[in-house]
Amino acid sequence: MTSLLKIIGEARKNKTAIGHFNISDLAGLKAIFEAAYALNLPVIIGLSEGEREFLGPTQAVALVASLREKYNFPIFLNADHTHSLEKIKEAVESGYDAVIFDGSKLSWEENIRETKKAVDLVRSLNKQILVEGEIGYIGSSSEILRELPKGAAVSPEDLTTPAQAEEFVKKTGVDLLAPAVGNIHGMLVRQSSSDGGFESINPRLDIKRIAAIAKAVKTPLVLHGGSGTSDEDFVSAISSGVSIIHINTEIRVAWRRGLEEGLKKNPEEIAPYKILSPAVEAVKTIVRNRLKLFSSQR
């Protein structure tokens, strides 16, 4: 089986990006895997600390490993947004392919120091596991937002600079870097005047900054908070150097709407797999469209 590092290298070479989608249940995993498998595109499954606690850190490893082994398919598992060395160690010992130490809310010096500790810890336990670091706080929740996350780096002067990226990578030794380039976690929305629904109004990405950071560091770049980003910005970000894109809020919304549809259509149904079928299909549609876009299969 091809390693995650090699898959990322191929994405960088081909100017494409790997889709990273979070789960907290089997329905989400089923939808994401089936979409990726049908397109024959590699995919990364992510679980935050909260998602790992709900599903079980080792149980998630077993589920993903069973799909990878049975279908000989490049599906990988990432310990998303991990905030302590204890949880980093837990993920490594459970068998994750990659881990993210999220020190983005710390001071610059603290982020570098603690991320370096995480890198050293992972290297001492398993040199094959990739370690990602984050620069710049962009919010912390994958949810529908009515206003920008407090303290989120969205102003030009608060975004990651190429010099910061270069210093951070050099001092921490991370394998992957997630900079703040205008992206935010969650989907900022407003009510649509046309149909009474909601439309995303997430900030635009700073594409020139992404290109400058990619030029300054050899480390692959990761875009967090992809939900609500325009297709145009995704394409430009990928061509400018982004190799992995995180999507979570969009599929949570799809899961919720699909579940509501299942309950509405079958109000007397009590079999979970029947009620959840529309949720699986809704998530699958989101994942399929994003993977096609990220891989230039439009």
* Residue 108 pLDDT exceeds 70: yes
Q: Are 45 and 21 in contact (CB under 8 A)?
A: yes
For the chain, the residue count is 298
pLDDT of residue 143: 58
Which residues 6+ apart lie within 8 Å of 84 measured at CB? none
What whole-number distance in Å separates Cα of residue 227 and Cα of residue 249? 6
Q: How confident is the model at residue 228 (pLDDT cuts 50, 70, 90)?
A: confident
- Tokens at 207, concatenated: 């594409």
Counting Cα atoms < 13 Å in the Cβ hemisphere of 91 gives 32
Q: Regarding the domain with residue range 4-294, which homologous superfamily does it belong to in the CATH classification?
A: Aldolase class I (3.20.20.70)
Whole-angstrom CA distances from 5 to 50, 171, 212 are: 26, 21, 22
pLDDT-derived band of residue 261, with 50, 70 and 90 as boundaries? very high
CA-atom Rg of the chain in angstroms: 18
pLDDT in tens, 122-163: 999 999 999 999 998 766 666 555 555 565 556 667 789 999
H or E element that contains 161: none
Q: How far is CA 53 from the centre of its chain?
A: 18
Q: What is the dihedral of CA 270, 273, 275, 280, to 10 degrees?
A: 170
With CA atoms as reference, report the closest residue to 145 among 197, 190, 194.
Answer: 190
Per-residue model confidence (pLDDT) at position 142: 61
- Residue 153 confidence (pLDDT): 56
Average pLDDT over the chain, rounded to an integer: 90
